[in-house]
Amino acid sequence: MNAEVTVREGGELSVAGPVTIDNVVATVARGAALFSQENQVVDLAGVTEVDSSAVSMLLEWQRGTGRRRRQIYFANIPPKLQNLVQLYGVAELVPLAEARREPD
């Protein structure tokens, strides 16, 4: 089963379903193709299953937006994925939507 990456009203992306080694390459490509915002928000509330490849997805999306001089923020990161991000010591590379600053 593949994860679905969709665009919500306002340009926020939503990821739903499993993000595992079986589908991460397609999920990364689909998400990157949909990035359209200067400050892209990706909602991960619908992610149902993860393995370590999901961390790679977050980092690849972060690198990709950085190359385009844009920002990406992740919202509603599932607890298991949060644990993996902490375990691999990359939490500072995974910006959270809750921590982003809106322009004054």
Classify residue 17: in a domain, yes or no: yes
Classify residue 47: in a domain, yes or no: yes
CATH no. for residue 33? Answer: 3.30.750.24
Q: Go through the chain and tell me how many residues it has.
A: 104
Cα–Cα dist 51/91, whole Å: 16
Q: How confident is the model at residue 1 (pLDDT cuts 50, 70, 90)?
A: confident
Domain count for the chain: 1
Domain that holds residue 52: 4-99
Q: What is the chain's alpha carbon radius of gyration, rounded to the nearest angstrom?
A: 13
The mean per-residue pLDDT over the stretch 64-88 comes to 95
Classify residue 57: in a domain, yes or no: yes
What angle in degrees, to the nearest 10, is found between the helix axes of 52-67 and 79-87? 80
> What is the value of pTM for the model shown?
0.90
Q: Is the pLDDT of residue 102 over 90?
A: no
Classify residue 104: in a domain, yes or no: no
